[in-house]
Amino acid sequence: MAKRADFAGLDLLTAFGGEETSKKEISLSDILPNPDQPRVFGKEEVGDLVESMKRLGLIEPIVVRKQGKKFQIVAGERRFQAARILGWKSVPVVETEASEDRCYEMALAENEKRKSLNPWEVGRAIQFLRKERKKTAEEVGKILGYTERYVKQLSSIARLDQRSVAELLKTGAEPSVKNLETLLKKKEGRGGEIISPRKAPERIIVDLKSLSSKNRDSFLRELSNLKKKYGLS
C-alpha cells in the first residue's frame, strides 16, 4: 500500500468550530456509509480517485462520527469506496463528536468545497436544511459561502424530481443552474426563482377621449414612431 500522509486537510472541521475530534486509523469493516449524504448522482464513480490513492495514498482522512460500535461517514465516502476497491484493510480517520445535524452541514460543505455536487443536489440539501432543520436562507448561505438570493434560487431548483434531472443528464446536457431552471420552467409551466428577477414591464395608460379625432390620430402616429425608435412593443 502506498504511504499515506498524516491527517492533512482538517480545515472542514476547523471551519465548523470547536467540536472535539480525535485522529486514529480504523478498520474499513467498522465504517458505515451515510444513507443521508447530499450526493445523489455519481456516488460510485471513483475510478479517478482509485488511481490517485494507489499512487499517493489517502492524502486527506475520512471524517466519521461514532454510531453504536461502528463509525458513520461524515465526509469522504468516495475515498472510503476507493479504499475498498484497493483492498485496504484500514484508513486514517478523524472522529468528530458533532451532532447529527452539524455533521449533515459538514458533509454538504465538504462536497461543495470539492464541487462534487450539481446544483440540484445542492438545492435538495438546502431545501432539507430549510424545511426540516428550520434554517434560514441566510444561515445556509453562511455554511456554503453563498448569497441569500442564490440559496433561494438553488432551493427552487430542488422542486425538480430526481427522475427529471436524471433524464436531463442522459441527454448529455450539463446540470447547470441555467439548464435546471429551464427544465423547471418547462415542468411547472412558469419561472422559478432566479438570481436577478426581471421587473414587471412598466405601463403607461393615457386617456385619449378628451382629444379631437385629428389630434388623436396625430398623437397615435407620433407614438408609433417613438415605439419604433426605442424598440417598444
Residues 136 and 151 in one domain: yes
Residue 67 within a domain: yes
How do residues 118-154 score in pLDDT, each as one tens digit? 899 889 888 888 888 888 999 888 888 889 999 999 9
Shared domain for 123 and 142, answered yes or no, is yes
Single residue among 97, 112, 142 that ends a domain in this structure: 97
CA neighbor of 79 nearest in space, from 67, 66, 69, 64: 64
Same domain as 112, residue 91: no
77 is catalytic: yes
Regarding whether 110 and 88 lie in a shared domain, the answer is no
119 lies in some domain? yes
Count of structural domains within the chain: 2
Within a domain: 221: no
Give yes or no: residues 165 and 127 share one domain.
Answer: yes
Distance CA 154, CA 122 (A): 7
The reply to whether 70 and 119 lie within a common domain is no
| The pLDDT of residue 167 | 92
Q: Which domain holds residue 135?
A: 102-189
What separation in angstroms does the CA of 171 have from each of 28, 45, 165, 178, 179?
A: 37, 19, 10, 15, 12
Same domain, 112 and 180: yes
Residues 42 and 63 grouped into a single domain: yes
Task: Please report the pLDDT score of residue 179 as a whole number.
Answer: 92
Q: Examine residue 5 and state whether it is found in any structural domain, yes or no.
A: no
Q: Choose one of 174, 189, 204: the last residue of a domain.
A: 189
Looking at the fold, whether 135 and 167 belong to one and the same domain comes out as: yes
Does pLDDT of 95 surpass 70? Answer: yes
Residue 108, pLDDT above cutoff 90 = no
Residue 197 grid coordinates: 428577477
SS3 67: strand
Looking at 64, 97, 130, which one is the last position of a domain? 97
CB-CB contact of 95 with 66 (8 Å): yes
Same domain, 36 and 51: yes
- Establish if 4 belongs to a structural domain: no
| Band (189; pLDDT cuts 50, 70, 90) | confident
Tell me, yes or no, whether 169 lies in a domain.
yes
User: In this predicted model, what pLDDT tens digit does every residue of 21-49 receive, in sequence order?
Assistant: 678 899 999 999 888 777 777 666 788 88
CA proximity to 94, closest of 66, 68, 55: 66
pTM as predicted: 0.57
Catalytic residue among 77, 95, 121, 181: 77
**Residue 2 is assigned to a structural domain of this protein:** no
CATH number of domain containing 69: 3.90.1530.10
Q: Are residues 30 and 92 in the same domain?
A: yes
More confident residue, 55 or 110: 55
Q: Torsions phi, psi of 133, nearest 5?
A: -105, 5
- Whether 223 is in a domain gets the answer no
Q: Are residues 113 and 146 in the same domain?
A: yes
Residue type, 164: S
